[in-house]
Amino acid sequence: MEHLANAHLLNWADIDWVLLDMDGTLLDLSFDNFFWREHVPMRYAEKHGLALEDARAQLEPKFLAVQHTLPWYCTDHWSRETGLDLAALKQEVRGRIGVIPGAEEFLRAVRRSGRRIWLATNAHRDSWRLKLEVTGIGQYFEQVICSHDYGHPKEDQRFWQALQAQQPFDPARTLFVDDSMPVLSAAEAYGIAQVIGIRKPDRNLPERPLPAMRSVATIAELTAGVPA
């Protein structure tokens, strides 16, 4: 599929709802990558008297066993699994939370255009609340859609069905932006008309291809096309 090098390729006249992912779309995924790949294994090793590599070896199968299911995103689940207070661990490194350059300008432009703008995240409640507190971007959203309140992650069609039942919106007039290919595919399968992927969710890593999806490097590329 095409790279949206030209922001005007989005037909904003057909968009009333803008649903946006948080981590990797608006916020730099380097925080989450550091947290799960470095900070949690380090604290797990300290708690259980393990070498860091042994801690990683114990945690990896636990992560893979629930990948793309609701427990994968649940800090309560991982607190039970690891014996660590995951919410407290995130507070320890909150200084690493950051907005992707240009993302806030996009949010302002969409708000000014009068469209309805929802945050749609798989992040557990204590995670998204912390991140909105640190970054201040919560002010731009009409509401926060947390998949834990709907019983299924965004990868699951049942999430979209439950969202539609509780918060009616028109998929044919909706833009959805996310950095996860399974989530993007689920949104497209549900009938979201305009689905855009993010190729560079982590500022420290190179762009990755999203060959089956219309995509931009970062959400900042969409700002110029938003009508005033």
pLDDT-based confidence at residue 197 (cuts at 50, 70, 90): very high
Per-residue pLDDT tens over the stretch 9-63: 688 999 999 999 999 999 999 999 999 999 999 999 999 999 999 999 999 999 9
Q: Which residues are catalytic?
A: 14
- Please give the mean pLDDT across all residues of the chain: 95
DSSP 176: E
Name which residue leads in pLDDT, 228 or 191. Answer: 191
Taking 60 as the threshold, does the pLDDT of residue 184 lie above it? yes
User: Which superfamily does 7-28+98-225 belong to?
Assistant: HAD superfamily/HAD-like (3.40.50.1000)
Query: Which pLDDT belongs to residue 1?
Result: 54
Please report, for residues 1, 10, 44, 97, 191, the alpha-carbon distance to residue 216 in angstroms, rounded to integers and kept in the order given: 11, 11, 36, 22, 20
pTM comes to 0.95
CB atoms closer than 10 angstroms to residue 136: 10
Q: What was the pLDDT predicted at 6?
A: 47
For residues 46 and 120, is the Cβ–Cβ distance under 8 A? no
Domain spans of the chain, in order of start:
7-28+98-225, 31-95
